[in-house]
Structure 1
Amino acid sequence: MNKALPTYASAYTDRHGIQRVRLRRTGYVTHYCQHKPGTPEFTEEYHTWLANGKKQVGENRPKPGTFDELIARFYKSKNWQEIKESTRYTYRGEIERFRAKYGSRSARTMTAQHVASLIAKMGDTPNAANNLRKRLGQLFRYSIELGWRIDNPAKIVKGIKVKSEGHKTWQEEHIAQFQACWPRGTKQRLAFDLALYTAQRRSDVRIMGPQHIKDGAIAVKQLKTGKSMAIPIHPDLAASIAAMPTAHLAFITTERGTLFSAKSFSMWFRKQVIKAGLDGYTMHGLRKAASRRMAETGLSNQEIKAITGHVTDSEVARYTREAEQALIARRAMAKMAQVVWLPDPSQNLATHFQEAESNAKN
C-alpha cells in the first residue's frame, strides 16, 4: 500500500491475496478495516476504533448477572446485529461509557429509582442523559428475553426535557445569503439545492448521483427508514445539476473524487455555511425550510409527507410550525371571503359546495 499508515495500523495480505489493514493495540480489540487508507471513511473508522475499541475490565470473563455480562451478550445478540453498523458505533460509545463506571454492578437488581438517580446526575448534559436512558432500555429489554428480569426500569423513568428547538429553520433571507455566496456551478450550491429541493436528510443527500435520476425524479431510499421514494426534480434543482456535470456516482464528492462519509460531509457543509456568514445553520435545517415552504404554499400534510418521507402528521407539524402565519392566514381568509353566509346553515353549506365546484371547473 502506498498510503502511509497511522499508528497501530499495519498492512497484511488476506487469503485471497488482497492487501488489507488491521488495527492492533495493547488493551484494544483487534479491528480489521473495511475502508482503504487515505479515504474519509478510513479516517472515521480509525478514530471510532480509537474512541470505542478499548477492552473493558471483565470483558473476557464477566461476573455472572452483571452489566459486563449483559452487555457482552447483547453485542452477540440478534438485537444488536439488526442495528445499522453506523448506528452501532454511536450506541457502543454510549454503552461503554456506562459500562466503564457500572459494568461490575448487577443488572438484575437495578431499579427505576437507580435509573432516575443516574439520569438526574447527568442534568448538565440532557441529550447524553436521554440517550443513556434509551440504551439502558435496550439492555433491560434484552435482559427480559434472557429471563433475568420481568420489568424494564428504564421505561418508567422520564427523560430530561431539552430546552432546544433543534436545528434552526432556514428563512428566505438566509437561503438568499447562501445562494449569493455560492452561485450555481459550485459544489456548495449543488449540495445546498439537493437538500433544499428534495427535503431529504444529509445521509441521503451525500449519496445522491446521476444514476438516481429517472423520468424527471430522483430516486431515494432513506437510510434512516429504509423507505423508497421518487422525488420530482424542482426546476431550480435541475438547473443546479445541469450547471455542474459529474462523472462520479455521487453529485457531491471529496477533492479526491471519493464519497464523503456521513461525518465528513456534515463537517464540510458546516464550513461552507460559515463562509457564507451563516454559522449555526445546518443541512437538516434545510429539510425544515423545505417543509416550511410547502406549508406556506398550501400543500396538505399528505402532500408534504410524500416528499419528506414523514409517516405521521405530528412529525410534519414539528417541521412546519415555523411556516409564515401571516401568509397562511391571508390565504385562509381569502378562501373564507369566497363563501356567502346566509341565516340558514344548510344554505351556507350548499353555497360553499357550489363555490367549490365552480372554482374547480374554472
Structure 2
Amino acid sequence: MRIKLKGVNRVSKRLADGSTVTYFYAWKGGPRLDGKPGSPEFVASYNAAVATRKARPTGTLATILDAFESSSDFSTLAARSQADYKKHLRSIAAEFGDFPIEALHDRRTRGEFLAWRDRLAVSSRRNADYRFAVFARALAWAADRGLTPLNPLERIGRLYRASRADAVWTDADEAAFLAKAPAHLHLALLLALWTGQRQGDLLRLTWSAYDGRIIRLKQNKTGARVSIPVGEPLRIALDAAAKVKKDAVTILTTEAGFTWTESGFRASWRKACAKAGVEGLTFHDLRGTAVTRLALAGCSVPEIATITGHSLRDVGVILDSHYLSRDPAMAASAIRKLETRTKTPNRTPN
C-alpha cells in the first residue's frame, strides 16, 4: 500500500556530467530524507523530521493561517495566486503568527495591524495592499467558520490607487510592435486586441476552441463562458498560424513551438515592448484597449460585455473612468454628431 506523505518537497538538480538527480526533503526548507520514496528508510526519516519540527502553538493566528492555506477556498485559486498568497501568508505569520486569537476582541488590534501595513507601505504601497488583502481574506474565512471572534481587517480600504487612464494602446503602438517585435508574438497582440481576454486565458487557449469562425472559452478567473466571433484580421492570422503550428496544442506558442509558461511569456513580452519602443503599457492594458476600440466602433455596453466577459458594470467603469475620459477620438465623434444635427435642414425648434 502506498502511503502519501504530506508536504514532501522534491528538488531535481543537474550534475556536472549532465545527469539529473532528485532529492527529497521533509518540507520546503526542511531536512533531506534518506532512502528511496516509499521505502521503510524513507518513511522513518520523514517521521523523525516531522517529530522534531516545532509545533505551532494553538490558539494563535498561525493556526488560522495554516488552516486557510489548507482550505478549499485556497485550493480554488489559480496557481499563480496560490504562490503569491503563500509568500504573503509566510510574511504575516512571521510578524503575527504568535498573536493570540482571543486578542482579536481588543479594538486596538486593528490599529496594530494597520501600523504594520503603514511600515510596509514605506517601500511599496501596492505590496502592502496585496499583503493585507490576503490577511483580511484569511481572517474573513476564519470568522465565517467561527474560528475567530471577528475580522478586524474588514473594510480597511487601500493605500495604492493605480490610474490607467492613459494606458491605452494606440494604432501607432500596435504598428511599432508589429514592426519590431518577434513574429511569434504578433498573434498574441492580435488575439488580445480582437477578443479582450486576459493573458492567462489566451495562453491556455487551444486550437480546439477555434472552429474557423468563433473562439469559445471559459475564463479562469470568473468562470464566465464567452463566444467571440473572429474578426477578419484575426481570422487571417489564426488560419495562417494553423498551417504552421500543425502539432501545437495551444494557439500561442514560443518560437520553438512549445506552450508558454506565464513567467516566460511575461519576460518575452517585456523585451519585445522595449525593442518596439512601447513604453508604459502592459499586456493587461490590451484588454481595456479592446473595450475602448469596441466603444469607438459604436458598440453598446452589452455588446462589449458579451465579447470580453466583463460585467455590464465593469464595462461602464472602464469606459467612464479609465479609458474614454481622455480619448480625443470620442470627443471628435461627439462634435461631428452635433454638427450633423445642427446642419440638418428644416429642423423645427422646440
Task: Report the Cα offset of residue 336 of structure 1.
Answer: 4.2
* 1:120 equivalent in alignment to 2:106: no
Note closer, same or farther for the CA distance 1:237–1:146 as it changes in structure 2 (3 Å cut): closer
Instruction: Name structure 2 gaps, 5 residues minimum.
Output: 1-9, 15-19, 33-48
Aligned to 1:104: 98
Aligned to 2:202: 205
* 1:70 equivalent in alignment to 2:64: yes
Aligned to 1:172: 171
Residues 274-319 of structure 1 deviation map (CA, whole Å, 9 limit, x = unaligned)? 1112133221121122111111112111111111110133444325
Q: Does the 8 Å CA contact 1:170/1:286 hold for their aligned counterparts?
A: yes
| Matched residue SS, 1:214 | coil
Aligned to 1:14: none
Measured in 2, the distance between the counterparts of 1:87 and 1:339 equals 60
Task: Report the Cα offset of residue 153 of structure 1.
Answer: 1.1
Residues 66-101 of structure 1 deviation map (CA, whole Å, 9 limit, x = unaligned)? 121111222222322333333211111111112122
Q: Which residue identity lines up with residue 81 of structure 1 in the other structure?
A: S
Q: Does the 8 Å CA contact 1:167/1:285 hold for their aligned counterparts?
A: no
Task: Report the Cα offset of residue 172 of structure 1.
Answer: 1.7
Task: Report the Cα offset of residue 331 of structure 1.
Answer: 4.9
Measured in 2, the distance between the counterparts of 1:69 and 1:139 equals 11
Q: Which residue identity lines up with residue 277 of structure 1 in the other structure?
A: G
Higher relative contact order (CA 8 A, sep 6+): 2
Aligned to 1:43: none
Measured in 2, the distance between the counterparts of 1:290 and 1:277 equals 21
Q: Which residue identity lines up with residue 317 of structure 1 in the other structure?
A: V
Aligned to 1:4: none
For 1:12-51, what aligned pairs fall within 5 Å after superposition? 24=25, 28=29
Aligned to 2:35: none
Q: Which residue identity lines up with residue 268 of structure 1 in the other structure?
A: S
Q: Which residue identity lines up with residue 25 of structure 2 in the other structure?
A: R
Measured in 1, the distance between the counterparts of 2:208 and 2:21 equals 30
Note closer, same or farther for the CA distance 1:59–1:131 as it changes in structure 2 (3 Å cut): farther
Q: Which residue identity lines up with residue 103 of structure 2 in the other structure?
A: T
* 1:9 equivalent in alignment to 2:12: yes
Measured in 1, the distance between the counterparts of 2:333 and 2:340 equals 11
Q: Which residue identity lines up with residue 208 of structure 2 in the other structure?
A: Q
Q: Does the 8 Å CA contact 2:11/2:22 hold for their aligned counterparts?
A: no
Measured in 2, the distance between the counterparts of 1:93 and 1:249 equals 32
Measured in 2, the distance between the counterparts of 1:20 and 1:81 equals 30
Q: Does the 8 Å CA contact 1:212/1:219 hold for their aligned counterparts?
A: yes
Q: Which residue identity lines up with residue 193 of structure 1 in the other structure?
A: L
Q: Which residue identity lines up with residue 74 of structure 1 in the other structure?
A: F
| Matched residue SS, 1:206 | helix
Q: Does the 8 Å CA contact 1:168/1:285 hold for their aligned counterparts?
A: yes
Note closer, same or farther for the CA distance 1:339–1:59 as it changes in structure 2 (3 Å cut): farther
Measured in 2, the distance between the counterparts of 1:339 and 1:109 equals 76
Measured in 2, the distance between the counterparts of 1:108 and 1:339 equals 77
Query: Which shifted more, 63-72 or 105-114?
Result: 105-114
Q: TM-score, normalised by structure 2?
A: 0.76
Aligned to 1:291: 291
Measured in 1, the distance between the counterparts of 2:73 and 2:166 equals 30
Aligned to 2:271: 271
Measured in 2, the distance between the counterparts of 1:60 and 1:166 equals 50
| Matched residue SS, 1:218 | strand
Q: Does the 8 Å CA contact 2:92/2:135 hold for their aligned counterparts?
A: no
Task: Report the Cα offset of residue 29 of structure 1.
Answer: 5.6
Query: Which shifted more, 138-147 or 65-74?
Result: 138-147
Measured in 2, the distance between the counterparts of 1:59 and 1:316 equals 53
Task: Report the Cα offset of residue 266 of structure 1.
Answer: 1.5
Measured in 2, the distance between the counterparts of 1:253 and 1:27 equals 32
Superposition RMSD in Å: 3.2
Residues 200-233 of structure 1 deviation map (CA, whole Å, 9 limit, x = unaligned)? 1111111223221125111121111111111111
Aligned to 1:45: none
Q: Does the 8 Å CA contact 1:169/1:286 hold for their aligned counterparts?
A: yes
State the identity as a percent.
22
Measured in 2, the distance between the counterparts of 1:23 and 1:316 equals 52
Instruction: Name structure 1 gaps, 5 residues minimum.
Output: 1-6, 12-18, 32-54, 345-362
Q: Which residue identity lines up with residue 234 of structure 1 in the other structure?
A: G
Q: Does the 8 Å CA contact 1:305/1:316 hold for their aligned counterparts?
A: no
Task: Report the Cα offset of residue 25 of structure 1.
Answer: 7.6
Aligned to 2:185: 188
Within the candidate set 325, 329, 349, 2:330 is matched to 325
Measured in 2, the distance between the counterparts of 1:328 and 1:108 equals 61
| Matched residue SS, 2:294 | helix
Q: Number of paired residues?
A: 304
Measured in 2, the distance between the counterparts of 1:82 and 1:66 equals 25
Measured in 2, the distance between the counterparts of 1:251 and 1:192 equals 12
Aligned to 1:142: 141
